[in-house]
Amino acid sequence: MPDPFDPENPTHTRLPDTHALDYAGNQGMAVEQDQLLETRPEKREEARSLWQDAWRDLRRRPIFLVSAVLIVLLVIIAIFPGLFTDADPRHADLVNNYLKKPNWTDFFGAGWFGYDGQGRSIYARVLYGARASITVGICVTLAVAITGGLAGMVAGYFGGWVDALISRLVDIFFGIPLLLGALVILNAFTHRTVWSVVFALAFLGWTQIARVMRGAVLTVKQADYVTAARALGAGTRRIMFRHILPNAVAPVIVVATIALGGYIAAEATLSYLGIGLQDPTISWGIDISSAQNVIRTAPYALFFPAAALSITVLAFIMLGDAVRDALDPKLR
Amino acid sequence: MTTDGATALGAAQPEEAAFAQPVSCGEPILQVRDLVKHFPLTRGVLFKRQVGAVKAVDGVSFDLVKGETLGIVGESGCGKSTLAKVLMNLEPATAGSVKYKGEEISGLRGSALKAVRRNIQMVFQDPYTSLNPRMTVGDIIGEPYEIHPEVAPKGQRKTAVQDLLDVVGLNPEYINRYPHQFSGGQRQRIGIARGLALKPEVIICDEPVSALDVSVQAQVINLLEQLQGEFDLSYMFIAHDLSIVRHISDRVGVMYLGKMVELGSDAEIYDHATHPYTQALLSAVPVPDPTARERRDRIVLTGDVPSPANPPSGCRFRTRCWKAQDRCAVEEPLLARPAWLTGLAVHDSACHFAAEREIELSAAEREIELSAAEREIGPRAAEREVGPSTPEREIGPSTAERQENEGGETGTPQ
Amino acid sequence: MTTIVGMPLLDVRDLHVEFVTRDGVAKAVNGVNYRVSAGETLAVLGESGSGKSVTAQAIMGILDMPPARIPKGQILFKGEDMLTMGKDARRKIRGQKIAMIFQDALSSLNPVLSVGYQLGEMFRAHRGASHKDAKAKAVELMDRVRIPAAAQRVNDYPHQFSGGMRQRIMIAMALALEPDLIIADEPTTALDVTVQAQVMDLLAELQAEYHMGLILITHDLGVVADVADKIAVMYAGQIVETAPVHDLYAAPAHPYTRGLLDSIPRLDQKGQELFAIKGLPPNLLRIPPGCPFNPRCPRAQDICRRTDPPLTQVVADDGEPVLGRASACHFWKETLRDD
C-alpha cells in the first residue's frame, strides 16, 4: 500500500499543470463516508516545516557537503589551531630556517610547508591565520545582518518617509567602494586589531543586506497572510516578527553567506595593503604581502597562505549557492 | 435605499413566493452608507502632488441582515475586493459610514478596532498565499486566540483549535503540519477555521472558491453553508462567478465601476433583473448545457470597462449600454426602486430605463421554456411585462449587428 | 458535424508523458488517444493535474525534456508522427501548422515590443515579408480579430491593451500563418464573463471561417457547452469519457463526469446542497491501482480497485453503438441509466 503521506516523499515539483502533485493523496477515502472530510490518511504524516524541507534538500547536495566539511574544519582550526601543530607560528629561526623548502614527508610537522623569510613555519602560520579570517568574516556578517536586516525591515515595513530616509542613506553608503572606504576608516586607527577591521567592514557593508531585506519585506508585506493577521487585529510587532521576518529572511541568509567569503577576502586585501591587521596578529593577507618579495626564490611562501584564503572564500560562496538553491521559493 | 423584502414579497405573485428566502426581514447587522474609497494618484518623487484618484468604491450603500448571505458580484476592477478591505478596516475609507449593530466602525483605531475585529472576519481568495508558510496549522488557527486571549484561556487553546479543525472537516491530528502539506481545498478549510476562531458574527468571503478546482469548490461551498446554520453567521460573499453567488446568496448586489447598480433578492436579480448591466452579465454566463446554447439570447457587451480613474459622467455603464440616451450622460441614476415597475421587478436598480428583459421566443422555444418551468428549473420563466417608460429598442441585437458593434472601445454605441 | 472524412488532422495515440522529479516519476499522461478533424472542435476537460495541458504541450513540442519524457505513444499530424520526425520538420509544423493560444496573454507577449511588431514578426520570420508588408499584415490581422482602430493601435505596446484585447492579439498571432490546428489552453479563464463571451465567439467564428481544427482545453464545463463538438474528459492523465457534446451533458457515462456536472452550481437552478465529489485528485506520483477514480467514486466495487477499465464504446439500449461515445468505467451502463 503506497503511503500518500510518506514523509520521505514530499510532493514538490516544478511541473506544468500538475498542481495536483501538491495535493496529498487520497488513500482511504473509499471508506470515508463524510464527504466533508477530504482526507483521513491511514498513517500519520510527519510535520515538516519549510526549514526542515530546505535542510533535507541541502543535505542531499554534494556542493553543500563539501563546503560544510571545509567550513567545519576551518572553524575548528580557527578555534584550536594547536590541535594540528606543535609549532609556534611566531617562532622565527632565521639562522636555520630562512626560506627552507617544504619537507613533503614531514606530515603535519613544522616544516611541512617550508619556512618563510623570517624562518617561521608556514604550516603553523597558515593554521593560525585562519582565526583572524574566520573571526572577521563571521563577526562582520553578524553585524551586517543585524544592522542591515533591521534597517531594511523598518524601511520596507513602514514605508513613507522612514523608507525614504533609510533608502537615501543606503544609497549614499552604497556609493563608497568597500576597500577605499575601509582604507580611510582604518587609517584613523593608530592601533588596528581584528575588531577595528570588523568595524570598518561592517560600517560599510550593511547596505547590501538592508537592500535585500527591504525588497523581501516589501514582497512579503503584500501577502494575504499578513493581511489576514491584520484582520485578526495583530499588532506591528507580531506582524513583523511572526509573519514577515521568517518569510523574508531567506534571501538575506543567502546573500550574507556569500558575502561572508567576500569579507574574508576584503580583510586579507586590507592586511596585504598594510592597512588591515598588523603584526603580531597572524593573517594570510600579511603573509602573502611579505612573501611577494621572495616569490622567485620561495614561491611556497606565497602559495600556501594564498591557497588557504582561496579555499576559505570558495567554501563560503559554495555554501551560499547551495543554501540559495535549497531555499529557492520556486521549488516550494 | 435598502431593500425591504417584505414589501417586495408582498407584491410578488404566489408562485414566485416559493423562491422567497427569508430576505432582509431581520435587523441589519452591518449598515453601509455612501462608502467611498479613492486611491490617490500622485506624481513627483520628493514633492508629491495628487493628480487624480482611482475611484475604486464610489458611494456604495447596503445593509447586511443577521443570518443572511449577501452576494456581491461584478467583474474585475469593479471594486468588490476593495469594498471588502474597507469593510474590514484594512484600508481606511475615504468617506461614508459603516455601522456594526448601530455603532460606527469605520475609522476606528487601537483597542476599539481590535474589539470590532472579533466580530467581523474574513476568508481570503487564494489559499496558497493566505496562510503563513512558516507556521503550523495549529499556530495559524490558534493565532486569533493569542491576539485576543480573552476568547480562549491558554490551557484550552489546543482543544479549541482541534475542535475548529474538526468543524471544518479536517483531521484534528493535523495540528502540527504546515500549510504546504495540504491541498488547495484543505488550505481553504484552514483559512475558514481561522476566520471562525473568534466566533465572529459576520464573515466576509472574498472569492473563497475561485482558486479551487470544480470538484473541490462544491465541498467548500457546502461547508460554508453548513457553518452558517451552525454558527448563525452572516456572510458577505464576494465573487465573480454568478452561478455560485446565486447558489449561496439570499440577496445579491451587482457592482460596476465602484457603484452598486442593482440590489435585490436572488430571485429578483437572477430572474427579474432590471439593470442592463446585470442582464448582460447574466446572459454571458456560460451554462453547462449545450441545449441551452441555441435558445439563450446573449447580450454581447461592446468594449471594455472604462478606467476607474476616469469614469464616464452620469451613468457609468452608459458607454457600453444599448439603452443609453442623452440623459444618461448628464444625470447619474440613483440606486432606487423604479416606480414604473411591478412584481419582482420592483427592487433597487440604478438605471433611468430600468426594465426587465424581453426575450423573443419562437413557438418551439416557448415549449422548451414551458417544459423547463414545469421541472422548476425555468430560468426566466415566461413573464414579460413592458416597463412603461422603456425606450423601444432592440435588446438582443442580431448576430450580424453584434459583430459590427463589437470592439467599439468606448463611446456611446449607435 | 463530427463525421470524419478520411484522415484526421491530428491523431494522438496512446500518449504517455512522465516527469522525473526528486521524489519519483510523476505520470502526467497515461495513454491518451484523441483525434481532431478539420473544422472540428474538441474540448479537453479536466481539473488541474489531469494532464490536459501536458498533452497539449506534448503535441506542440514545448515540454521541457528533461524533466519530462515521452516513453510511449504517437502524435500523428496529417499521418506523420511528430515524435519521430526531424527537428526541422517539427519546427515547421509548430507555429505554422499548429498554433497555440495560452491562458495568460500578458506574459505571452513581449512587453518591450509593439504589438504590431510582434504580429509582423510572424510574417517576417516565416514568410520573409518586408517590414512594411509585415506591418500591413499585422493591421489586417488586428482588424480580423476586431480590435477597433487597428491602424492606430498597431504601434501600441501590450500593456496598453485590456485583457480581452490582448487575448484577441494572441488569437491574431495564432491565426497569422493560417494554421490547420489551433490549441487553446484555457483561453478565457483569465477574462471577465462579459469579455469571455466575446473572445469565445470570435474564436468559434474564426475557426469556422478558416475550417481549422480546434482543441479547447478548459476546466469550465460552461465554456465547453457553448462551442465544442465533442468532449474528452480527463482524469489523472487518462481520458475517462469521450462524447459528442449534447450526449455528455444529457447523460454522462462516467461517474467522474457525472460528479463534475452535479457539483457546479447552475445559474438557472437554485438547489439546496451541492453535490460534491469526495476526496481529492490523486497524487500523480502514486496513482491508485485499478481505476484512478475509484477512491472517490460512489460506485466503486472490488473490480475497480483491481483493474483499470479501458475506454469502451458506449452502446445504446437498442444495441447500436453510439457514435463517438466511450467511457472508461466498469459500470458505464449503470451510470448512464442513472439519469
Residue range B107-136, pLDDT digits in tens: 888 888 888 888 999 999 888 889 998 899
Would you say the C-alpha torsion B96, B99, B104, B108 has a positive or negative sign? negative
Q: How many residues does chain C have?
A: 339
> pLDDT tens, B306-321?
888 888 888 989 888 8
Residue at B414 is within a domain: no
Contact B133 A50 (CB under 8 A): yes
Interface list for B 159-218 with A (CB within 8 A): 169-171, 173, 176-178, 180-186, 189, 191, 194, 198, 216
Q: Is the pLDDT of residue A5 over 80?
A: no
Superfamily of structural domain A53-331: MetI-like (1.10.3720.10)
pLDDT score of B395:
39
Is there a single domain that holds both residue B232 and residue B350?
Answer: no
Closest CB from A14, A15, A30 relative to C28: A15
Cβ A81 vs Cβ A128: under 8 Å: yes
Contact B218 C264 (CB under 8 A): yes
In chain A, domain spans: 1-48, 53-331
Interface membership of B295 toward C (CB under 8 Å)? no
Confidence band, pLDDT 50/70/90 cuts, at residue A147: very high
Is there a single domain that holds both residue B26 and residue B160?
Answer: yes
How far does the CA of residue A13 sit from the closest CA of chain C (Å)? Answer: 6
pLDDT score of B401:
39
Cβ C284 vs Cβ C270: under 8 Å: no
Greater confidence (A111 vs A257) lies with A257
> pLDDT tens, B366-387?
444 444 444 443 333 333 333 3
pLDDT score of A11:
37
pLDDT score of A203:
92
Per-chain mean pLDDT for chain B: 77
Is there a single domain that holds both residue B335 and residue B365?
Answer: yes
Q: Return d(Cα C146, Cα C198) in angstroms, integer.
A: 10
Counted across chains B and C, CB pairs separated by less than 8 A come out at 143
Is there a single domain that holds both residue B136 and residue B19?
Answer: yes
Give the mean pLDDT of A179-199. Answer: 89
How far does the CA of residue C93 sit from the closest CA of chain B (Å)? Answer: 32
Residue at B81 is within a domain: yes
Confidence band, pLDDT 50/70/90 cuts, at residue B72: very high
Contact C269 B377 (CB under 8 A): yes
Give the domain-ending residue among B200, B232, B261: B261
Confidence band, pLDDT 50/70/90 cuts, at residue B293: low
Is there a single domain that holds both residue B361 and residue B218?
Answer: no
Q: Return d(Cα C118, Cα B382) in angstroms, integer.
A: 50
How far does the CA of residue C26 sit from the closest CA of chain A (Å)? Answer: 8
Range of the domain at B171: 5-44+51-261
Question: Which residues from chain B sit within 8 angstroms of residue A230, using beta carbons?
Answer: 90
Lowest mean pLDDT among A172-176, B88-92, B145-149, C162-166: C162-166
**DSSP-H helix ranges across A236-280:** 236-238, 245-272
Q: Return d(Cα C117, Cα C157) in angstroms, integer.
A: 9
DSSP letter assigned to residue A29: G
Is there a single domain that holds both residue B212 and residue B78?
Answer: yes
Give the mean pLDDT of B182-198. Answer: 89
Give the mean pLDDT of A302-312. Answer: 91
How far does the CA of residue B339 sit from the closest CA of chain A (Å)? Answer: 41
Best mutation target, A9, A36, A222, to test chain B (most B CBs within 10 A)? A36
Contact B183 A44 (CB under 8 A): no
CATH number of the domain that B77 lies in?
Answer: 3.40.50.300
> pLDDT tens, A251-282?
898 899 989 999 999 998 998 888 888 878 88
Give the domain-ending residue among B196, B226, B261: B261
pLDDT score of A149:
93
pLDDT score of B247:
87
Q: Which chains touch B (3 or more CB pairs under 8 A)?
A: A, C
Total number of domains in chain B:
2
Interface membership of B334 toward C (CB under 8 Å)? no
Contact C296 A32 (CB under 8 A): no
Partner residues linked to C109 by β-bridges: none
Q: Return d(Cα B213, Cα B320) in angstroms, integer.
A: 32
Q: Is the pLDDT of residue C166 over 60?
A: yes
Q: Which three cell numbers stand for residue B187?
A: 488550505
Residue at B155 is within a domain: yes
Best mutation target, B81, B249, B250, B289, to test chain C (most C CBs within 10 A)? B289
Confidence band, pLDDT 50/70/90 cuts, at residue C267: low
Closest CB from A4, A16, A24 relative to C54: A16
User: What secondary structure does DSSP assign to B198-247, as a single string?
Assistant: T--SEEEEESTTTTS-HHHHHHHHHHHHHHHHHHT-EEEEEES-HHHHHH
> pLDDT tens, B253-291?
999 998 999 999 888 888 888 999 998 888 887 777 766
Residue at B268 is within a domain: no
In degrees rounded to 5, what are phi and psi of residue A108? 60, 10
Q: Is the pLDDT of residue B18 over 60?
A: no
Q: Return d(Cα C17, Cα C73) in angstroms, integer.
A: 9
Residue at B347 is within a domain: yes
Per-chain mean pLDDT for chain C: 82
Is there a single domain that holds both residue B106 and residue B76?
Answer: yes
Q: pTM for the full model?
A: 0.78
Q: Which three cell numbers stand for residue B299?
A: 447580450
Give the domain-ending residue among B233, B261, B289: B261
Give the mean pLDDT of C243-256. Answer: 85
Residue at B412 is within a domain: no
